A and B are shown apart, each in its own frame.
Chain A
Amino acid sequence: MEKLSIILGKSVQKVTRLRGNGGSALPGLVIEKTNPNFVKEVLSKLPYGVVVVSGTNGKTTTTKIVTELLQKQGLKVFTNKSGSNFVRGVISAILNNIKVGGKFDYDIAVLELDEAHAVKFCEVVPINYALLLNVQRDQLDRFGEIDHTADLLQKVAAAARKEVVLNREDPRVGKIKADHPVYFGLSETLLKKFPSDDNLIEKTEAKVSDKPAKVVFEKLSKNHATYNIDGENYSTDLTLKGIYNAYNAAGALAICTTILSEADPANLIKDLAKIESAFGRGEVFEVNGSEVEILLVKNPSAFQLSIASFADDDHDYMIAINDNIADGRDVSWLWNVDFSKLKNIKMTAGIRATDMALRLKYDNIHVAKIEEDLETAVKKFTRSNKKPKRIFATYTAMLEIRKIISGKSIL
């Protein structure tokens, strides 16, 4: 059955590719209908099993960190790189990497799955480990409610046969029950930089959880980070951008030291130093002689964290807001972000550029330029001076800006 599915799936892939459809969803759909056990059959043969990474923010970069750390430790890691984090996407990724004879040459699978799909996935495929990052207000028109999201992650935790790594500082993830919980967290000092969704809205002070943590993110000055792993401190410079990525790295370290208990933390830290953020997450480009960093924003908590970690520098800023389906049609979440600490916002851009300018107006911030057309916006913004710049962008705006900047001909 499995071999038949592989041949069938690969054939459908070929046909859809010939027809120019990129071949992502259809092969998965065909396999799902003809052999619902396909993913289970393939993945349950992996010696270390399956790791699911889920949560609202930071899944993609965290999955990348876990994957690369395990690879450096010598494991062959299967992962769903393209961000196609659906069961069907996983099927397609398997089809791309499996031999017709059924040889699937990996030790472990590290899969990024959003909360709803993670639950569906766990109903079909047994998983060994889960790394659960956070539950924050995401695109409200997609999942509706934050407590519902926490329930979904609880189901994922219940499905894991081995350890579940939990962010003890997240008010909802910290409460998730698991047979073998392992925690990562923050020091008292750093916690102040990470207001939870509840803290943002209720304006309350967060407290460090009293749960014992395997990995604590202790300190960060510029890009120099200190982690405490099993009671010992390790410091390193990071290539990763942004304080939240450094935080998620603590979760990645916790799951890697759990899966490979014999691994030397000092080596993991050395490998972590070189890992870069995922596509579109803190990528830096050089445009017209100045450094331009693109930062994906998709919900208030992540946006607030970005603002908090950049409050003291002198970059120029542009904020690009689209409201296509992939961004979320509802832009009301912008009103749950406090922009008053962000200086030097030179331009708002994208389909909802005016909404963004309006939002800033009510924080008493005047924006000189509102430019809906992203190409014009990027051109004007990057040509204005040689200062380092940052662009906050929603998903589809990020893709478009990246294209505009990397195809420099228009600039």
Chain B
Amino acid sequence: MTLNILHLYPKEMNLYGDHGNILAIKRRCEWRGIKTNIIHYEPGDEIPDDIDIIFGGGGQDSGQGKIEADLQKIAPKLKDFVERETPTLVICGIYQLFGHYFETSEGKKIEGTKILNLKTVAGDTRLIGNITISTPEFGEVVGYENHSGLTYLGEDMQAFGTVITGAGNNGKDMTEGVKYKNCIGTYLHGPLLPKNPRVTDFLILKALENKTGKSQKLEVLNDHIEQRAHKVAVSRPR
């Protein structure tokens, strides 16, 4: 079995060790005898139809500018994947652009893909530091956030988790990220997946179930180091 993993804009959206998220999916598949095929998607490329997992990371402003137009073009296809329960993880920049829009401090609205019912407005301070959240599906999730955009979820949207320490979506309503079908949007870098293997395994499991059409069980891995690193990260100051 080979899982096709779509990495959106690895050239332009690659900050904060996001490469580690792809590596986490790849290795945790390999360690279970599942092959992976990483597809680096850059503006203008074709997106294959048989995508099993989608990942998009954070970027600097110049990177975001370069992908905006292209993202609009592929938005319908991405929306279709998300609606069909394709496991998807979008972080920071791409998370924001999966919503309706990003409103800059000058009041300019950068159009999003409208895949998720949320909006983001520029804030006047950067929300930076270690963050721990509590999630209904994966328990405690730990990461590092660094964003100035403030994200507000639409009423029908469920948050990825509730902030225990840190700022989260907007520093006010205690929500962090979003979980819609099998799509997770979040501000958590760190990178997210290595220290939160339950989230990684969720993406892999859902991909396998979609591919085979039946319920699956993942082989249990020794996650001693993952758990210990998670614990250390939770204990660190902001």
Contacts and interface: CB of A to CB of B under 8 A. Distances in A.
A355 B229 contact: yes
Nearest to B23: A362
Interface in B115-130: 126, 128-130
A18 interface: no
A404 to B, nearest CB: 21
B195 A332 contact: no
Nearest to A357: B225
A188 B57 CA distance: 33
A335 B60 contact: no
A329 B228 CA distance: 18
Interface in A344-393: 351-352, 354-355, 357-359, 361-362, 364, 370, 372
Contacts of B146: 140-141, 144, 330
Given A147-B62, A201-B14, A332-B144, A362 B27 contact: yes
Interface residues of A, number: 30
A258 B146 CA distance: 42
Q: Which of A323, A333, A335, A354 has the most CB of B within 10 A?
A: A335
Given A329-B130, A329-B236, A336-B17, A354 B191 contact: no
Contacts of B149: none
Nearest to B129: A329
Residue with the highest number of chain B CB atoms closer than 10 Å, among A145, A147, A355: A355
Contact of B11 (A201, A330, A331, A354): A201
Contact of A362 (B11, B129, B194, B232): B194
A354 B14 CA distance: 24
Contacts of A354: 225, 228-229, 232
A356 to B, nearest CB: 9
Interface string A143-172: 011111000000000000000000000000
Interface residues of B, number: 35
B10 to A, nearest CB: 7
A370 to B, nearest CB: 8
A333 B228 CA distance: 19
A336 B15 CA distance: 9
A332 B16 contact: yes
Contact of A334 (B17, B130, B189, B228): B17
B232 A351 contact: yes
B51 to A, nearest CB: 22
Contact of A335 (B20, B225, B232, B233): B20
A46 B189 CA distance: 48
A145 to B, nearest CB: 4
Contacts of A364: 27
B24 A362 contact: yes
B226 interface: yes
A370 B226 CA distance: 13
B232 A355 contact: yes
Nearest to B21: A335
B61 interface: yes
B19 interface: yes
A171 to B, nearest CB: 13
A140 B145 CA distance: 11
Contacts of B20: 332, 335-336, 359, 362
A306 B11 CA distance: 24
B29 to A, nearest CB: 12
Contacts of B190: 330-332
B229 A330 contact: no
A148 to B, nearest CB: 8
B144 A329 contact: yes
Given A140-B146, A329-B144, A145 B60 contact: yes
Contacts of B24: 362
B16 A140 contact: yes
B129 A355 contact: no
A140 to B, nearest CB: 6
Contacts of B228: 354, 370
B27 A332 contact: no
Nearest to A146: B60
A232 interface: no
B21 to A, nearest CB: 8
Interface of B: 10-11, 14-20, 23-24, 27, 60-62, 126, 128-130, 144, 146, 189-191, 194-195, 225-226, 228-229, 232-233, 236-238
6 contacts: A144-B60, A145-B60, A332-B20, A335-B18, A354-B229, A361-B225
Interface of A: 140-141, 144-148, 201-202, 323, 329-336, 351-352, 354-355, 357-359, 361-362, 364, 370, 372
- 7 nearest A-B residue pairs (beta carbon): A335-B20, A335-B17, A332-B17, A145-B60, A354-B229, A358-B229, A354-B228
